[in-house]
Amino acid sequence: MNLEIITRQVMEIVREASDFIQREALSFAAEKIEYKDFNNLVSYVDKEAEKLLVSRLRLVLPEAGFITEEGTTGEPGDPEALNWIIDPLDGTTNFIHRLPVYCVSVGLAQGKNPILGVIHEPNLDEMFYGWKGGGAWCNGTRLAVSTVQKLSDSLLATGFPYHKFEKHHLYMEILGLLMQKTHGIRRLGAAAVDLAYVAAGRFEGFYEYNLHAWDMAAGVLLVMEAGGKVTDFSGADNFLFGGDIIACAAPHQELLDVISSHF
């Protein structure tokens, strides 16, 4: 596979999906919201954007399977195979509430190893993209993670659990500690955007649990290609399908020490 050529093709497809989402944003109404489960929102916009992405990506790599948030393919992907991993609208709750922090995220992974990632944040028209061995980029500019060395000088991002609250007390303890050990913590509501911003050096690190592969696949590739380190909460590499992630620049070990002492 020529990953650079494939990445360029994916960028065009992702932009098409973003354009559709932005057109729909102009007339989206609250009665069009659906609930997959508690606090887990979806709309026809997510589903139609996913169908568009799947139909186009099938033509790019017919041999690849699909792991998608909305399951519109009707095909459960094999986590050990070559898969497109898609979040058609990461930040659905933001989109529904007209908060302009959401994106389209498409990753390609061989098993648990991401090899290509494209994230488009349409409100700022920022196209983040990269491929294994080819670096990470945004609108033609090469990305590099922050050069900040200490956790005390870092700005972090996280996400708050919206279901499975049994560990929320541990999460709040971590949050309380990191509030005192950093420049601050932000919660944007779209994990793919958070990861793209780590790759761009805007955040020194990002951590969250209860995530899915489609939240992380593209962003993980970008962070690694930009020089960052990605692990799960135990410091191992089971993040893509394990549900928890720490993606960080130089202060990764300090952040891992805080989190792993609680989880």
Contact 78, 85 (CB under 8 A): no
* Residue pointed to by tokens 């609680």: 262
Per-residue confidence band for 178, with pLDDT thresholds at 50, 70 and 90? very high
Kindly report the CATH number assigned to the domain that includes residue 194: 3.40.190.80
Q: What is the average per-residue pLDDT within 215-224?
A: 98
- Quote the domain boundaries for residue 218: 151-260
pLDDT at 34 over 90: no
The residue type at 99 = L
Report how far residue 260's alpha carbon sits from residue 263's, in angstroms, rounded to the nearest whole number.
5
CA 203, 106, 117, 234 dihedral sign is positive
pLDDT digits (tens, 9 = 90+) for 123-161: 999 999 999 999 999 999 999 999 999 999 999 999 987
Question: Could you tell me if 235 and 170 lie in one domain?
Answer: yes
Give how many domains the chain has, as a whole number.
2
For Cα atoms 17, 190, 218, give the angle at the middle one, nearest 5 degrees.
60
199 in the same domain as 172 = yes
Same domain for 55 and 161? Answer: no
CA-nearest of 151, 228, 219 to 190 is 219
218 and 161 part of one domain? yes
